Amino acid sequence: MHLPELASHRRQLVALGAVLLVLLAAFLVVRQVTAEPPRSAECAAAGPGVRIDPAAVPEGPVAGYGGEQLANAAAIVNAAEALGLDTCAQVVGVMTAMGESSLFVLDRGDAVGPDSRGLFQQRDNGAWGTYADRMDPTTSATNFFLALQEVPDWQALPPTIAAHRTQRNADPYHYARYWDPAVEVVSALAGRRVLDPEA
């Protein structure tokens, strides 16, 4: 091979290498942007959200909850599903309402938040809507889920921390004890085990 041909061949190889590097970088960027967010261990097996027929809600008890409480849990689950959220979000919502109100629509607050109302004990600070919004199971749940989605990487957090960052309550671990009962309730409403890697 002559010197001019060798130089031309090198330039072609360098140009080809540069094109391949640009394509690889573009692939990695697209892969990173479209990748599923990391998930906590509790939510690793989350699937698409489930829709609950309000007429088919069991009377209970399920994990100690019944009647009105299960109907309210169904409203929470359906609010998440309407927003396109998965079963992990649905369980986080039910867990949070268990910790805030035992799944009752409360028309009272407490010493820390005397203006708190509803399933999620949402404050009258403008962030959670009107009094009627906070007292309506579907609207209050929708507002909870909209706020949850604003928490960076909420799916990667332990569920109690995701709920805490949404609700801004005093104890970040307050909701942890409600996780298993919430999984039981959502599973009973769905008619199948949710968040089960074998399902």
What's the pLDDT at 145?
Answer: 98
- Count of Cβ atoms closer than 10 Å to residue 174 Cβ: 16
| pLDDT computed for residue 196 by the predictor | 77
> What is the predicted pLDDT for the residue at 33?
46
Residues 96, 166 contacting (CB under 8 angstroms): yes
Mean pLDDT value of segment 56-76: 97
Residue 20's pLDDT is what? 58
Q: Average pLDDT for residues 81-99, to the nearest whole number?
A: 98
Is pLDDT at 44 greater than 90 in this prediction?
no
Residue 153's pLDDT is: 94
Q: What share of the chain is helix, strand, coil (3-state, %, to 5)?
A: 55, 5, 40
Instruction: Write down the mean pLDDT value for the chain.
Output: 88
Q: How many Å apart are CA 154 and CA 138, to the nearest integer?
A: 21
pTM: 0.81
Q: Is 171 helix (H, G, I), strand (E, B) or coil?
A: coil
Q: For position 116, what pLDDT does the model report?
A: 94
pLDDT grade, residue 195 (50/70/90)?
Answer: confident
Using one digit for the tens of pLDDT, what is the confidence trace for 26-43?
555 554 444 555 668 888
